[in-house]
Amino acid sequence: MGKFLEISEFSCGYPGHFVLNEISFGIEKGHFVGIIGPNGSGKTTLFRGISGELPTLKGKITLNGQQTQRMSLREKARNIAVVTQHIEVGNMTVEEYVIMGRIPYQKQFQFFETGEDLAITEKYMKLTGIDNLRDKNMNSLSGGEQQLAGIARALTQEPELLLLDEPTSHLDITHQVQILNLIQRLSEELSLTVLMIIHDLNLAGEYCDTLLMMQKGTLRKTGTPHEVLNYLDIEAVYDTVVITRTNPVSGKPVVFLVSEKTMKKV
């Protein structure tokens, strides 16, 4: 039996500039997977290739037995939802923004949302904790609230795969933990498969089931946080001295940085 999401000898990118080098990996249904690696390693290119934003140069992507490159745009939108790093809000209320996730299910010449669309929108606004913001303008929300609205809109697509591009990168620690707790809960309760680009190695280690470590357009390593977040691989990929230990409460790996000043004293 194959994995729920299978990437086979996959290449995409910008020929002559940057191309992924035949990436292969598989993800089980309901797993929360983090993509890590320094800037320029290929995280965003892989992300855009999976979402279909970049055309495939080689290989294939299979989601629940279906090859995504053969899906229509509507079919792809019903199976794969994307939450970008910067939410493009526009001048609309939170409810109007979230219900736009139902567009892939609307019939031709359908100008109004159905009762089902409204019920699904309500369900995911409540699940993400933004139902009390429904009448607020998206422009008036904080960064954390906008990310939650983006996740709610993605969930109204009722996707099989949720792709998140650094959802916590510009947020304070309160909102980072709030959003990652929510994503972890969604993955477990809805059996939602989540693939997320994340820069913070400690957050990646604490929350993700599996990590994919990218390096110069290749997949250097994949495995559990303990298997991937070791000082040898981190130092080789990030060219930075680190120390890895274990969180005494969660048992997850923790990465400590060492400053140049401290290194000179050692």
| Residue 93 per-residue DSSP state | B
Structure tokens at 247: 């969180």
Q: Given CA atoms 197, 203, 208, 212 in this order, what sign does their dihedral have?
A: positive
Whole-number pLDDT of residue 191: 93
Whole-number pLDDT of residue 84: 87
Backbone angles phi, psi at 186, to 5 degrees: -60, -45
pLDDT in tens, 31-42: 999 999 999 999
Q: CA–CA separation, 254 vs 229, rounded Å?
A: 8
Whole-number pLDDT of residue 138: 93
Q: CA–CA separation, 138 vs 149, rounded Å?
A: 8
- Quote the distance between the C-alpha of residue 208 and its chain's center: 11
Low-confidence stretches of the chain (pLDDT < 50) are 1
pLDDT in tens, 127-157: 999 999 999 999 999 989 999 999 999 999 9
Cβ atoms of residues 167 and 112 within 8 Å: no
Whole-number pLDDT of residue 264: 85
* CATH match for 5-225 among 1.10.3260.10, 3.40.50.300, 3.40.640.10, 3.50.50.60: 3.40.50.300
CA distances (Å), 64 to each of 3, 68, 204, in order? 8, 10, 25
What pTM was computed for the model? Answer: 0.92
Q: Which amino acid is at 173?
A: I
Give percent of the chain with pLDDT exceeding 90: 76
Whole-number pLDDT of residue 89: 75
